[in-house]
Structures are given as C-alpha cells and as structure tokens.
C-alpha cells in the first residue's frame, strides 16, 4: 500500500465499538487506493451538522481522505459480515465493496458510522470488484438527501469522489466512492448471519450491542429479544408508512437492506412513483414485482419474520414456545401498520385524527387517482390549494362526489380549514426527485456536467415549500421522458 501517504499529523477521532464484537462479525482491512481521485460533491451542510472538523487537512488531503488514499492515523477500518435473503433466497453476503472507517461522535453525543462504499475488494466480495460506478453513487447521494429533507429516517451522503478508474458492468463506467453516514449498519441480515453460528453467545453479543446502541430502554425488559422484535415491528411499520406517504419505492428490500436503526438504507434501483399505481416497480431486477409500491408493508413484515427466526434461540429455551411468542408479535404487524398508514393518509387529507369511517375516504380517492392515471404527489398537493387546478381527475364525476364528502368531513375538524390545509402542506411534498430528472442529472454528471445535479439538489432542499424554481421538477415525465427501469449498477 505504498500509495498511502504517511501523514502522521492527520488524526481523526474515530471509534470502533463494533470491533469489540466477536471476530466473526468483521474483517479488518484498508481501502484499496485509487488512481486519480477528485471530489465530485461534498455535503458541507451535513459535515457541519455532525461536527466534522476537517480543518487540519488541505483540499488535496481531503480528496485523498475521501477516496481511501489517505488514512487518518490510528484508523482501523473494517468490513462487516452479514447474510441475507435476496428476493426470498438466503445468501452469505457482507460488505463486498464497503468499508467502515469507524464511528464518529457528534457534538451532541450521537454515534454515527462513517463508511466508504466502492473502496475495494474485501473478504466478502465474492465475484465482485469491490468498486462502485459514479452514476449509482450520485443516485444514492440525491435520493438519501431527498429522503432526509422529506423528514424520513435515512442514511446520509457526505461525499462522492470519482476515482479516475473505470469499472466494468454492462458498459465501461467511471468509478466512484461514496461516503455514507448512518446511525449504524446493523441489518436484519446481520442477525441472520449471527444465528448461523448456532452459538448463543455470538447471537447474544449482537443483541446486546444493538440494544445498547439503539434501544437502551429494552435493557430493563425481562424478555429482551421479544421486546426488540416488537420495537422493530413498530419502527419498520413507521418507516414503511413514511415511504408510502411520499411514493418511495425502495426496489431491493432484501433482508440485508433493512437496517435495525430504522433508517432507510442501500439506495439501489429505488425511485419515487409518478402516476399512482399500486403495482409500480422500477427495478430492472425485480421482474415479479416482489418489491412493488403496495407490497412494501408485506415485505417489511416478511423481513421482520426473518429477524424473529434468528432471535428464537434467545427468546425461550423451548423452540415451540419461542415460535409462539414470535408469531403473536409478528401477527400484530398488520394492524400496527394499518393504523399508522391510515393516520398518515388521514394527515395527507388534512385530518388530525382518523377513525374507521375515514378509511373509505382514503381508498376511494386512491382508486379515483388510479383510474385517472393521476400524479400521486401533485394530486395531494393540489387538494390543499384554494382552487383546484385544471387536471383531468378534478373534472370527473366520481371525484366531485368524493370532494363534497371530503369537504364535509373536513368541516368536522376542530381547528378549521386553514389548519387542515397547513397540515396537508406539511406532509404532501410540493416536489420529489422524479426519476426522469434524477436520470438526467446522473447522465450529465457522468459526463462531467454537474449543473443539472446541483439544480436538482437545490429543488429538493425544502420539499414542503412552494416556489417558482420548482416548476421544472414538478411535472410527471412526458411519454418521451419516461424512465421505466432503474438499475443497481453494482
């Protein structure tokens, strides 16, 4: 590794509590240096937010740092081991192209993982090259930042550096490294990996670590694995209902892509839905629609069931009893989700609190939107405008009748119409990163033109605020602009 500069004065106070776990959970190794790094985008706002002090290094050193060419003194990077169900099939995985630099403590004491994605091969790379292409890393940057701005728990993106090297997929593509900031990277698949060892101590150590880091309240509970399962059910039901609110489709909800921090993680072939259609799929590798928009809650429940299976040995010494306990909790997922979904959809319609009768109001509107091929984002945003714009859906008979009933229902809200409309504007975005705009920005970015990317990032900065500058980003794609498929680009 003679490309590493020896910079004895460069220190970074990374911690690595994760490496106190049994050694099966990680492999220590350094990033593979790259030929000619260049910072494509750096998230200064995030750096400030998390109290990252880079004042001791100059621009060149910063570029080298974020490309893995310059390691801070005392840094002990490592790759994490995990397994997972991919499209329903169990596989051994692990960070095949990612490396944890360590944990960063923010000024307020929050512990955050600092991870490179695309930093070279690891013991878990299988046949892969350990590298990432610029387009998909920019996609993760844009979408994760958009999710954050939309108020949805997510990993963040700190930097994208081009490597000056090519990666070979279907085509030759420019290589890149993304720096990801996350509450942690413990996945459902990490527990699947732990349970494979059939060693309670290994499993227990991961559970203890997760509880300490994310669920400190569970420490006091008598059945901690069961309490954890219930907390994760609550957390994932919450997260998915937020995805459904903004029309987000993750695209690869494999168990290794479900983080137990409750953050959205691993932005591959993800996209936001334009026209409302429950069966919308973008991912080129999801041919059966397993991860379609409306399937996401069922898949979350399926994934959480894999977590439950992994935890069984810790729940009860008798397997049958453990299964019964886990099943009772898992069976509650549906109702927990449904209640969260209804209250979220109610808020999209300006309702402070929903009751059973409101469900029809929600599903009927969604049906009318589906029949009319209406835009999911714009239709909800338009409903809170003083006058409905001239859209096909608003002239239909069915909609008019629905609209009258909705207005009647709003009339029963205690705080008046303006308060309902304000609620609607706070949950129905005025703008989302539409797929055709994202693709356009990535395509230009790959060719070295970063202007479309900057404008897109600017447009999604305050997604609940109207503004003339949003106009080019608010229309669904014209038929010629439509992007039907997104690719992982791994």
C-beta closer to ligand AMP: residue 96 or 313: 96
With binding defined as CB under 6 A, does residue 93 bind ligand AMP?
A: yes
Among 388, 446, 399, which residue's Cα sits nearest to residue 175?
A: 446
Q: Is 216 exposed, middle or buried (0-12, 13-18, 19+ CB in 10 A)?
A: exposed
C-beta closer to ligand AMP: residue 187 or 348: 187
Residue whose Cβ sits closest to Mg ion: 266
The Cα 419–Cα 405 span in angstroms is: 18
With binding defined as CB under 5 A, does residue 257 bind Mg ion?
A: yes
C-beta closer to ligand AMP: residue 128 or 289: 128
Which one of 31, 268, 297, 350 is in contact with ligand AMP (CB under 6 A)?
A: 268
The answer to whether residues 133 and 45 touch, using CB atoms and an 8 Å cutoff, is no
Give the shortest CB-243-to-ligand AMP separation in angstroms. Answer: 17
Which range binds ligand AMP by CB under 6 A, 87-95, 236-244, 308-316, 430-438?
87-95
The Cα 81–Cα 386 span in angstroms is: 54
Active site residues: 256
Give the shortest CB-373-to-ligand AMP separation in angstroms. Answer: 31
Which range binds Mg ion by CB under 5 A, 24-32, 117-125, 263-271, 473-481?
263-271
The answer to whether residues 176 and 161 touch, using CB atoms and an 8 Å cutoff, is yes
120: left (phi over 0), alpha (psi -120 to 50) or beta: left
Beta bridge partners, 275, equal 375
Which range binds ligand AMP by CB under 6 A, 101-109, 251-259, 287-295, 442-450?
251-259
Which one of 95, 266, 274, 358 is in contact with Mg ion (CB under 5 A)?
A: 266
With binding defined as CB under 5 A, does residue 144 bind Mg ion?
A: no
With binding defined as CB under 6 A, does residue 95 bind ligand AMP?
A: yes
Q: Which of residues 123-162 bind ligand AMP (CB under 6 A)?
A: 125, 128-131
User: φ, ψ for residue 373 (rounded to 5)?
Assistant: 60, 45
Which range binds Mg ion by CB under 5 A, 55-63, 127-135, 149-157, 261-269?
261-269
The Cα 386–Cα 380 span in angstroms is: 13
With binding defined as CB under 6 A, does residue 488 bind ligand AMP?
A: yes
Long-range pairs of 93-96 with CB within 8 A, sequence gap ≥ 24: 93/124, 93/189, 93/256, 94/122, 94/123, 94/124, 94/193, 95/122, 95/124, 96/121, 96/122, 96/124, 96/125, 96/126, 96/128, 96/130
The Cα 435–Cα 396 span in angstroms is: 28
C-beta closer to ligand AMP: residue 93 or 152: 93
What angle, rounded to 10 degrees, do the helices at 224-246 and 333-348 form? Answer: 30
Q: 473: how many CB neighbours lie within 10 A of its CB?
A: 18
Q: How many residues bind ligand AMP (CB under 6 A)?
A: 18
With binding defined as CB under 6 A, does residue 257 bind ligand AMP?
A: yes
The answer to whether residues 158 and 46 touch, using CB atoms and an 8 Å cutoff, is yes
- Which among ligand AMP, Mg ion, none contacts residue 488 (Cβ within 5 to 8 A by kind)? ligand AMP
Give the shortest CB-442-to-ligand AMP separation in angstroms. Answer: 17
- Which among Mg ion, ligand AMP, none contacts residue 375 (Cβ within 5 to 8 A by kind)? none
Which one of 178, 181, 188, 252 is in contact with ligand AMP (CB under 6 A)?
A: 252
Q: Is the dihedral of CA 216, 220, 221, 222 positive or negative?
A: positive
With binding defined as CB under 6 A, does residue 51 bind ligand AMP?
A: no
Which range binds Mg ion by CB under 5 A, 23-31, 63-71, 163-171, 264-272?
264-272
Chain centroid to CA 119: 20
Which range binds Mg ion by CB under 5 A, 254-262, 293-301, 305-313, 329-337?
254-262
Q: How many residues bind Mg ion (CB under 5 A)?
A: 2
The answer to whether residues 428 and 384 touch, using CB atoms and an 8 Å cutoff, is yes
Give the shortest CB-98-to-Mg ion separation in angstroms. Answer: 9
With binding defined as CB under 6 A, does residue 284 bind ligand AMP?
A: no
C-beta closer to ligand AMP: residue 163 or 474: 163
Give the shortest CB-87-to-ligand AMP separation in angstroms. Answer: 11
Give the shortest CB-44-to-ligand AMP separation in angstroms. Answer: 27
- Which among ligand AMP, Mg ion, none contacts residue 286 (Cβ within 5 to 8 A by kind)? none
- Which among Mg ion, ligand AMP, none contacts residue 247 (Cβ within 5 to 8 A by kind)? none
Among 250, 259, 242, which residue's Cα sits nearest to residue 303?
A: 259
Give the shortest CB-307-to-ligand AMP separation in angstroms. Answer: 17
Q: Which residues bind Mg ion (CB under 5 A)?
A: 257, 266
Q: Which residues bind ligand AMP (CB under 6 A)?
A: 93-98, 125, 128-131, 252, 256-257, 266, 268, 488, 490
């Amino acid at each position: 590794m003679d490309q590493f500069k020896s910079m004895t004065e460069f220190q970074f106070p990374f911690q690595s509590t994760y490496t106190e776990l049994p050694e099966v959970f990680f492999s220590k190794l350094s990033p593979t240096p790259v030929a000619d790094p260049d910072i494509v985008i750096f998230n200064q706002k995030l750096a400030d937010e998390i109290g990252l002090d880079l004042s001791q290094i100059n621009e060149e050193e910063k570029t080298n740092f974020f490309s893995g060419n310059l390691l801070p003194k005392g840094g002990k990077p490592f790759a994490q081991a995990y397994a997972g169900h991919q499209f329903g099939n169990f596989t051994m995985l692990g960070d095949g192209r990612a490396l944890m630099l360590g944990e960063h403590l923010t000024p307020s004491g929050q512990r955050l993982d600092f991870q490179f994605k695309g930093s070279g091969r690891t013991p878990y790379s299988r046949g892969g090259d350990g590298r990432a292409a610029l387009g998909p890393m920019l996609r993760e940057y844009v979408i994760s930042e958009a999710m954050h701005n939309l108020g949805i728990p997510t990993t963040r993106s700190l930097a994208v550096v081009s490597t000056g090297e090519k990666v070979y997929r279907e085509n030759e593509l420019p290589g890149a490294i993304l720096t990801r900031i996350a509450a942690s990277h413990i996945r459902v698949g990490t527990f699947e990996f732990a349970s494979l060892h059939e060693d309670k101590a290994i499993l227990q150590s991961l559970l203890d670590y997760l509880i300490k880091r994310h669920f400190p309240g569970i420490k006091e509970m008598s059945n901690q694995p069961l309490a954890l399962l219930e907390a994760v059910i609550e957390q994932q039901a919450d997260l998915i209902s937020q995805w459904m609110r903004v029309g987000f489709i993750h695209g690869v909800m494999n168990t290794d892509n479900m983080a137990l921090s409750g953050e959205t993680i691993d932005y591959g072939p993800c996209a936001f839905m334009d026209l409302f259609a429950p069966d919308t799929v973008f991912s080129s590798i999801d041919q059966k629609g397993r991860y379609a928009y409306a399937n996401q809650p069922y898949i979350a429940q399926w994934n959480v069931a894999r977590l439950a299976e992994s935890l069984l040995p810790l729940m009860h010494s008798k397997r049958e009893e453990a299964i019964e306990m886990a099943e009772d909790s898992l069976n509650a997922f549906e109702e927990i989700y449904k209640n969260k979904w209804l209250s979220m959809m109610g808020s999209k319609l300006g309702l402070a609190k929903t009751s059973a009768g409101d469900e029809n109001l929600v599903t009927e509107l969604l049906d009318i939107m589906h029949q009319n091929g209406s835009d999911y984002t714009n239709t909800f945003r338009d409903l809170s405008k003083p006058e409905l714009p001239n859209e096909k859906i608003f002239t239909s008979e069915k909609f008019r009748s629905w609209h009258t009933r909705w207005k009647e229902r709003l009339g029963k809200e205690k705080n008046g119409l303006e308060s309902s409309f304000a609620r609607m504007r706070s949950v129905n975005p005025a703008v989302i990163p539409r797929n055709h705009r994202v693709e356009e920005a990535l395509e230009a970015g790959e060719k070295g033109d970063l202007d479309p990317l900057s404008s897109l990032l600017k447009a999604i900065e305050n997604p609940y605020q109207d503004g003339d500058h949003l106009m080019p980003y608010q229309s669904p794609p014209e038929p010629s602009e439509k992007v039907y498929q997104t690719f992982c680009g791994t």
